[in-house]
A and B are shown apart, each in its own frame.
Chain A
Amino acid sequence: MLCEVCKENDVVITVTEIDGNGVRQVRLCEQCAAERGLQASVSAPPAAIGDFLQSVQQHIPPSQTDAVRCSFCASTLRDFRQTGRLGCPYCYTAFEQSLRDLLRKVHGQGQHRGREYSAAQGALEAPIPVSPDRLRERLERAIRNEEFELAASLRDQLRAIE
């Protein structure tokens, strides 16, 4: 197959480009790929895929789901888009739908086929537990704001966990 740009050399790489018109695939020869800064230069290895993910994520227009908050660590989907990192294991449940699509794109597949782990299996389908640190934080805030009824209930919850 010939390069789509110079139409002379053989294709060595397929590049997925994203612009205003959507996603398209371009097949390039080594030379044309190099001109677009895609050549695997010896001195500069490719950016870590995590960083790449982050840069792609930052270009996705904000949507309503961005404000969804994980009830365990209080991260939002927007936080994830900015840092490329999730806040806690429960974020995977909180942002399940968005992550499912993303994981398919990144890994080509979405279902885990490696080692099965039984000790914790199903644990994440249970209601998300509340972290004691988060509770403590809310308790302090409630006391500061003189919301004593709320504070009492939070203190009881905290005692129950600890």
Chain B
Amino acid sequence: MSFDPATLPGGGLGWMDGTGEQAGVVVSSRVRLARNVEGYAFSGRAREGERLRVLSQIRDALSLIPGAQEGVMVRVDQLDESDRLLLHERHVISKELAALDTHAQPRSGAAVHVGRDVAIMVNEEDHLRIQALRSGLDLDRAFADARDIDVELGQRVPFAYHREFGFLTACPTNVGTGLRASVLVHLPALVLTKEIGRVLVGLQQVGLTYRGLYGEGSEVIGNLFQISNQTTLGKSEQDLLDYLQDIVRHVIEKELEARKVLLRDAEYILEDKLWRAYGTLRYARSLSFDEAMNFLSGVRLATGLKLIDGLSVYILNELLVFTQSAHLAAREGRALTEDEASVVRAAFVRETLERAAQ
């Protein structure tokens, strides 16, 4: 089945607009709620029939919820690998649901319902992963989006809930609120000043954790860190969100301080480095994804410091999304080898920057 992401409400990219608080440092805020339907084994243990029944129950319930009716249900188990990768690159589905490991096959019944602000994965590790994404630092709005759907769905489908343990999940690390909130931050100055190690150790000391751009188990590229809560039980949703937001604000402050220090103590070195990054992106004829991410990090910093004019956070976010391999392949309308992708990527980056400079 071929799949056109343009059919998704907002392309699944509502978070990309570059608005929101602290948009110079914070790319996006994400909240996800894990829920399971009572009366079935969790997805990993359930049989095909059970997963399909969960899916049809969810589909029926969503069709009755006013705000969810405009959404689109995509059967991930019926997509080929390149389309699954595309949805993963858009952060609409997780690596696990997309089954991207070698020889992995998506679970039967794996699906995602994409609405304007909320995407609901069905038959991931938990039956439901309700996730909302917002531009900039805005956990409260992201949470409100996810909670609205959670409340509506919970009235139509019986969720597995325990008076003591809260919402029950396949992994005990998600039990209770089932809430994982994360903020994607760009921290180039903390990396350049080598302060980052201390900050990251500090995060773990205060009970938070961090990951790369693609969530659990992914490496940090382009100086983009996803900071998130680690525990889910014993605190209210609001307390978990407030705590994370406070610490993230602290990290943002540190990053802004480091930027000032760099400008003060190494202005021409920094400027040279950032303009070189821009120059490479503007004229290179072949770019690997990691390379593109690193130079884009430099240009994002330069834009934040107002060293380079004419670029918006929106354009930088666009480059972040559309330079990924499945997106380039979709643009070209064919599968690309790694070398071909590097050439197409460089051309796309050049065109985008050229357009922005006019």
Contact = CB atoms under 8 A, between A and B. Distances in A.
A108 B217 CA distance: 24
Given A89-B36, A120-B158, A12 B202 contact: yes
Interface string B225-257: 000001111111101000000000000000000
Contacts, number: 181
Nearest to B237: A114
User: Looking at chain A, what size class is its interface with the partner chain?
Assistant: 35 or more
Contacts of B40: 88, 131
Given A107-B231, A112-B177, A114-B236, A121 B198 contact: no
Interface string B107-141: 00000000000000000010000000000000000
Contacts of A88: 40-42, 45-46
A109 B166 CA distance: 12
A136 B200 CA distance: 51
A60 interface: no
A103 B147 CA distance: 24
Given A112-B166, A119-B154, A49 B173 contact: yes
A92 B41 contact: no
Interface in B192-225: 196-198, 200-205, 207, 209-212, 216-220
Interface string A123-138: 1110001010100000
B179 to A, nearest CB: 7
A42 B172 contact: no
Nearest to A134: B41
A85 B44 contact: yes
A108 B231 contact: yes
Interface in B11-40: 36, 38-40
A73 interface: yes
Interface string A94-129: 000001101100111111111101011111110001
Nearest to B178: A114
B171 interface: yes
A114 B235 contact: yes
B220 A99 contact: no
Interface centre among A49, A93, A114, A133 (most CB of B within 10 A): A114
B357 to A, nearest CB: 31
Contacts of B161: 117, 119-121, 123-124
Given A43-B220, A108-B234, A112-B164, A49 B209 contact: yes
Given A42-B196, A45-B211, A123-B158, A106 B173 contact: yes
B162 interface: yes
A33 B204 CA distance: 13
Contact of A42 (B211, B220, B235): B220
Contacts of B168: 89, 92
B49 interface: yes
Interface centre among A53, A84, A88 (most CB of B within 10 A): A88
B247 to A, nearest CB: 14
Interface in B164-195: 164-168, 170-173, 175-177, 179, 191
Given A114-B235, A119-B158, A120-B158, 18 more contacts: A12-B202, A13-B201, A42-B191, A42-B200, A45-B209, A45-B211, A47-B217, A85-B171, A88-B40, A93-B162, A110-B233, A112-B165, A113-B234, A114-B166, A114-B176, A117-B154, A119-B161, A121-B163
16 contacts: A12-B205, A41-B197, A45-B209, A45-B210, A85-B42, A86-B42, A86-B170, A89-B160, A103-B165, A110-B164, A112-B233, A113-B176, A114-B167, A117-B154, A119-B158, A124-B162
Q: 5 nearest interchain CB pairs?
A: A109-B234, A112-B166, A40-B200, A89-B160, A114-B177
